[in-house]
Amino acid sequence: MEALRIESIEFGYEPGSPVLKDVSLTVREPSITAILGPNGAGKSTLLKLILGVEKPWKGRILLYGKPLEEYSPRDKARLISWVPQDPPNIPLSVYEYVLLGRAPHLGFLSTPTPRDETIVFTVLEEMDLWRFHDRPVNSLSGGERQLVMIAKAIAQESKIILMDEPTSHLDVGNKIRVLRIVKQLVNQGKTIIYTTHDPNEALLTADNTVIIHNGRIIEQGETGRVVRAENLSRIYGVELREVELNSNRYVLPQL
Amino acid sequence: MKHYKKTTKWFFLLFLLLTGSFYFSLITGRLPTPLLPSMWTGTLRGVVYDLRLPRIILGILVGTGLAMTGAVYQSIFKNPLASPKILGTTDGAAVGVAAAILWIGTNRVLIELSGFITGLIATLGVLWLSKAIKYGGSVLRLILAGMAVSAFSSALIGLLKFLADPYQVLPTITFWLLGSLNGRGWVDVLYAGPVILAGIIAFHLLRWRVNILGLSDEEAHSLGVNPKLYRGILIGFGSLIVSASTSVAGSIAWIGLLMPHLARALFGADNRYVIPGSGLIGGIMLLLCDTYARSATSYEIPLGIVISFVAAPVFVLILSRRSLKWRR
């Protein structure tokens, strides 16, 4: 089933200087799509457009066949959740923060019900985060905060989860933990779209990869076909080589 | 859960304290008052029901309203030092009060109405000006616009004081702006009460969503909340409370800044509890300070001065015990 279709969008923050040019993309459900590119390529901007925070200058975005702007903010939030790049610096406890994920399921003036609290409890238990539930989010380590942000997105029960560089601040252990959760989520029927500048993450997890450079998609399709040393050398401007280990392919730098 | 039990216990204690303060204030004053209401007869009955009671109600409403506004503003501006003054509403309302005292005279309702209107105009000015500012994000623009409008309003207040007759009018302006509930009666409750109460109810109903506005705009958006719209609604109710409070009770500092911190010390950071908790603590604090202001000496001490005397050590206590990074 087609979850998302982006048709020839163009967008920029300053008039006359587009950040994204003629971007078209289709995402099927369930799947993992990695948006790969160097810093400043327009990856996060693309996610913001999918989220509906910014409106494209040209082109359109269809969510389950319906134009994005036809959704109410609440209906859209029931379909798409967001894991930001920077962890929130707020003193809410982990439990209180993850509970905010229930907002799209509640009325304008409502507060969370016992059912919402049960859902959050279950998510935190399943992710082994309940032991932190009383700790302020801003007292956690970077890896723990990332997991808590993902927990909030799961509690939101949306079909699509957007993640903006979910592993960029993490050590190797936490990076692997996050990527494992991403894979588990897709097995549960979710559609994950995440940005990264690490080609090996895409090779390890993504069904499809979109390579974006200077605001344009230069390659997209099945990850194994798209993430090749020659494509990446072109956009990163350094020489890369491919190695195979335990039937997994990796891209490594050549110094 | 443990946290909820603790929360319920604190709310119960605060309600008890508010009820106790209400009764204590009712029987406290320069005129000796027996403990039992059945013994309040003749002049004493008039003093209790027509002088003390409206003042107590107004004190609780102003304290609750300002403290809740402080809690909301600290969350939506993501700044633990934000207070109801941040958007220039207090200084804007003070301009209207000073101008009305200077040019209209002693009609209290007109003075309060003038303050209320200029307070709202100042807030609208801030919202308009924040669109013209090109520096920073939308929250910083609002804060900067608030600073500009506050500075302009302070200059206007200075000018009005300079123009005022130093023997007749200037003391009235100064005394009003110092903050006081002296002489406020049922008329003032009827005028300011419903406005402040509407703000208090709105803040209470929206208290959980205020947590979402403490996140980034993108994150708020992803939760189905339009941050600009919600901020606008909350600022609207906040400016109603602050304009009505300042016009009726003068410039009351500290309540809006400190009470949310005391509430956070009891309830943690969740605005579901911090906003009503701040309101209760603010109501109790203002009521007790006003009771002291009107009964401690034969000449009434302005409320603003009493509150500042109490608030300064509380502020130091908070700073010494808890970091302003809002950690629990």
Q: Do B218 and A92 touch (CB under 8 A)?
A: no
**In whole numbers, what is the pLDDT of chain B averaged over residues?**
90
Lowest mean pLDDT among A7-11, B6-10, B104-108, B307-311: B104-108
Q: What is the pLDDT of residue B261?
A: 93
To the nearest whole Å, the CA of A114 is away from the closest chain B CA by 12
Q: What is the pLDDT of residue A173?
A: 87
Whole-number Å distance between alpha carbons of B173 and A40: 57
Q: Tens digit of pLDDT for each residue in A97-146?
A: 999 999 999 998 899 999 999 999 999 999 889 999 999 998 898 888 99
Q: What is the pLDDT of residue B327?
A: 45
- Tell whether B328 is covered by a domain: no
Q: What is the DSSP letter of B185?
A: -
Does residue A237 surpass a pLDDT of 70?
yes
- Tell whether B245 is covered by a domain: yes
Q: How confident is the model at residue B59 (pLDDT cuts 50, 70, 90)?
A: very high
3-state secondary structure of A29: coil
Whole-number Å distance between alpha carbons of A249 and A227: 10
Interface list for chain A against chain B, based on CB atoms closer than 8 Å:
48, 51-53, 72-78, 80-82, 84, 86, 88, 90-93, 96, 100-101, 103-104, 109-112, 134, 136, 138-139, 156, 162
Neighbours of A71 (CB within 10 A): 18
Q: Do B214 and A51 touch (CB under 8 A)?
A: no
Q: What is the pLDDT of residue B273?
A: 96
How many distinct helices (H) and strands (E) make up chain A? 9, 12
Q: What is the DSSP letter of B203?
A: H
Residue A1 vs residues A159, A202, B141: alpha-carbon distances, Å = 12, 22, 44
Q: Do A139 and B327 touch (CB under 8 A)?
A: yes
CB-CB neighbors (< 8 A) of A162 in chain B: 222
- Tell whether B258 is covered by a domain: yes
Q: What is the pLDDT of residue B3?
A: 63
Whole-number Å distance between alpha carbons of B255 and B236: 19
Owner of token pair 């700790």: A135
Whole-number Å distance between alpha carbons of B242 and B15: 24
- Tell whether B48 is covered by a domain: no
Q: What is the mean pLDDT of residues B195-217?
A: 95
How many distinct helices (H) and strands (E) make up chain B? 14, 0
What's the domain count of chain B?
1
- Asked casually if ipTM beats, i.e. exceeds, 0.95, the reply is no
Interface list for chain B against chain A, based on CB atoms closer than 8 Å:
3, 205-209, 211-212, 214-219, 221-226, 264, 268-270, 272, 325-328
The two tokens of residue A46 are: 């693309």
H/E element, A249: strand A248-253
- Tell whether B302 is covered by a domain: yes
- Tell whether B199 is covered by a domain: yes
Q: What is the pLDDT of residue A9?
A: 95
Residue A58 vs residues A3, A211, B4, B264: alpha-carbon distances, Å = 20, 21, 50, 47
Q: What is the mean pLDDT of residues B171-190?
A: 90
Does residue B325 surpass a pLDDT of 70?
no
The two tokens of residue A81 are: 């959740």
Cβ contacts of A73 within 8 Å, gap of 6 or more:
A52, B221, B224, B225, B226
Cβ contacts of B291 within 8 Å, gap of 6 or more:
B21, B24, B25, B28
Q: Do B223 and A103 touch (CB under 8 A)?
A: yes
Cβ contacts of A194 within 8 Å, gap of 6 or more:
A32, A33, A34, A35, A162, A163, A164, A165, A166, A182
Report whether B34 contacts B241 (CB < 8 A).
no
Q: Do A77 and B222 touch (CB under 8 A)?
A: yes
Q: What is the pLDDT of residue B176?
A: 85
User: What is the percentage of chain B residues whose pLDDT exceeds 90?
Assistant: 65
Whole-number Å distance between alpha carbons of B85 and B95: 14
The two tokens of residue A164 are: 């903006």
Whole-number Å distance between alpha carbons of A132 and B146: 39
Q: What is the dihedral of CA B50, B51, B55, B57, to 10 degrees?
A: -30
Q: Do A81 and B325 touch (CB under 8 A)?
A: no
CB-CB neighbors (< 8 A) of A88 in chain B: 214-216, 219
Q: What is the DSSP letter of A141?
A: -
Does residue B324 surpass a pLDDT of 60?
no
Q: What is the pLDDT of residue B328?
A: 41
- Tell whether B44 is covered by a domain: no
Residue in chain A nearest B226 by alpha carbon: A73
Report whether B79 contacts B325 (CB < 8 A).
no
Domain of B257, in residue numbers: 57-321
- Tell whether B42 is covered by a domain: no
Does residue B205 surpass a pLDDT of 90?
yes
Neighbours of A79 (CB within 10 A): 20
Q: Do A82 and B269 touch (CB under 8 A)?
A: no
Q: What is the mean pLDDT of residues A179-187?
A: 92
Q: Which of B242, B289, B15 is nearest to B115 (CA)?
A: B242
Q: How confident is the model at residue B33 (pLDDT cuts 50, 70, 90)?
A: confident
Q: What is the mean pLDDT of residues B206-213?
A: 95
Q: Which residue has the higher pLDDT, B253 or B147?
A: B147
Domains in chain A with CATH codes: 2-253 (3.40.50.300)
Q: What is the mean pLDDT of residues A201-219?
A: 93
What CATH code is carried by the domain that includes residue B77? 1.10.3470.10
Report whether B99 contacts B118 (CB < 8 A).
yes
Of B219, B224, B325, Cβ closest to residue A84: B219
Lowest mean pLDDT among A33-37, B65-69, B175-179, B231-235: B175-179
CB-CB neighbors (< 8 A) of B222 in chain A: 51, 77, 80-82, 162
